[in-house]
Amino acid sequence: MSGGTQRHDWSKLDNTAKIFPAVSGAPVPNVFRLYTVLKEDVNPETLSRALEMTLERVPAFRVKLRRGLFWYYLEDNARVPAIRQENDFPASPILRQNNKGFLFEVTYYKKRINLEVFHALADGTGAALFLNQLVFFYLTIQYPWEDFGPLPEEYQVPVQEQSEDGFKRYYSHDFPPEAASLDREVAYPVTGTLLPLGGLKVIEAVVPTQDIIALAKQYDATVTEYLVAELFYSIYQEYFCKNPQNRPIKISVPVNLRSYFPTRTVRNFFLFVRLSLSCYGREYTFEEILQEVHRQMRQQMTREHFSGRIRYQVDLEKKVAFRLVPRPIKDMGLRLMYRLGERGYSCTFTNMGRVQLPDRVQPYVDRMGVLLAASRSNTLKIGLCSCGDRMVFNFASTLYETSVQRYFIRRLTQRGVAVEISCNEVSS
């Protein structure tokens, strides 16, 4: 204490996070959900205690957002977050005034534990670390007679490493700055009848992990390449062939940069790979689309390419003229840039990959999933996550129509994949 005023520690937003406070709201929430479905109903009292234990281990999540003269920033939040039963659409805007200022929220419904995160706080990898610890502590409290052992080493990240800005760490003049490709070209849109503002239609499809791996191997492709090609083909068949336009179908694929630049940060450290398919005036087979996806992904997914992208983003942030612009004016410019950027792709596909749970935890978990909030201008986002022998797709859309989702799933069933489907209720 000094002069009767309490001192609050603060930190900068990471390079990627800086845009999210300026552009987010009901039309564009920039919230994502990770969830774990247990094999028994959630005990809310146990969940609340587990959340307190998790925050002690991951204090990078114990923050609130503040407005500065030039930038937003993070400040320590000493309050205790509350959990609640889920009662609204997934990945809705996190109303900080109703959430004690926190940039995340933990809810539950029957057997499911949800972690919803505003993207200014963390990316999917950072959120997964938090959720996995939360579930671990929940199980140790709920089943005290079971020996779960100590917190797994892979869940333990030193406090000083949790908030590292990976972009600043790996910024280098050794690579020429490279802007994200394809951003300026308007993409073929996935259009239809919009849901009421704030509405989100979610279809969850659960499949055997090995079936999808086997399909990808048949085409000598990675799982991501194969599924992105299936998504391209679904949009091509359900939209483009019925309403051709001289615009390319473009899919945005977030890439976890930790695979190329080691860091244990829980903050944002990802970039988008943007894949494009020009269909106007020609026809495609699925195999031709997969070949093009493979070529573009291999071309873009290199350490050299990402190093140039990192330099470009950090250089932009460091420009004196940009840094000295007051925050409200920056916000207006960033909102315009973001809206133009959203027109640059047709949809988003994110693959969280395989979540490897400890052997003593896995028997209590049915499945895990990731869900991205779609927006009114970018109407379809697909999240993929596998855990154990189950792979979970989440199709999130702000449209009533579901033709792309149904075509995609039908393609899998026609190849012999058993698909369990569930969806939320959306009133008209």
In the chain the first and final C-alpha atoms are separated, in Å, by 54
Closest to 345 measured CA to CA, from 273, 281, 297, 404: 273
DSSP strands (E only) in 7-158: 10-12, 31-38, 63-67, 72-76, 84-85, 104-109, 112-118
Q: What domains are defined for the chain?
A: 10-150+164-168 (3.30.559.10), 179-423 (3.30.559.30)
| Other beta carbons less than 10 A from residue 69's beta carbon | 8
| Other beta carbons less than 10 A from residue 190's beta carbon | 22
Q: Residues 55, 61: contact at Cβ < 8 Å?
A: yes
Return the structure tokens found at 37.
Answer: 């479905």
Spatial neighbors of 8 by CB under 8 A, at least 6 apart, are 75, 76
| Other beta carbons less than 10 A from residue 108's beta carbon | 21
Q: In what order do the strands lie in the sheet with 249-256?
A: 270-277, 249-256, 347-355, 380-387, 390-397, 201-208, 420-423
Instruction: Render each residue's pLDDT in the chain as its tens digit; 428 residues.
Output: 334 444 458 899 999 999 999 998 878 899 999 999 999 999 999 999 999 999 999 999 999 999 988 899 999 999 999 999 998 889 898 887 788 999 999 999 999 999 999 999 999 999 999 999 999 999 999 999 999 999 999 999 999 999 999 999 999 999 888 876 545 689 999 999 999 998 999 999 999 999 999 999 999 999 999 999 999 999 999 999 999 999 999 999 999 999 999 999 999 999 999 999 999 989 999 999 999 999 999 999 999 999 999 999 999 888 877 788 899 898 898 888 888 888 899 999 999 999 989 999 999 999 999 999 999 889 999 999 999 999 999 999 999 999 999 999 999 999 999 999 999 988 66
Specify the DSSP element, H or E, that contains 235: helix 223-235
pTM to 2 decimal places = 0.94
What does the radius of gyration of the chain's CA atoms come to, in whole angstroms?
21
- DSSP state for residue 79 in the 8-state scheme: S
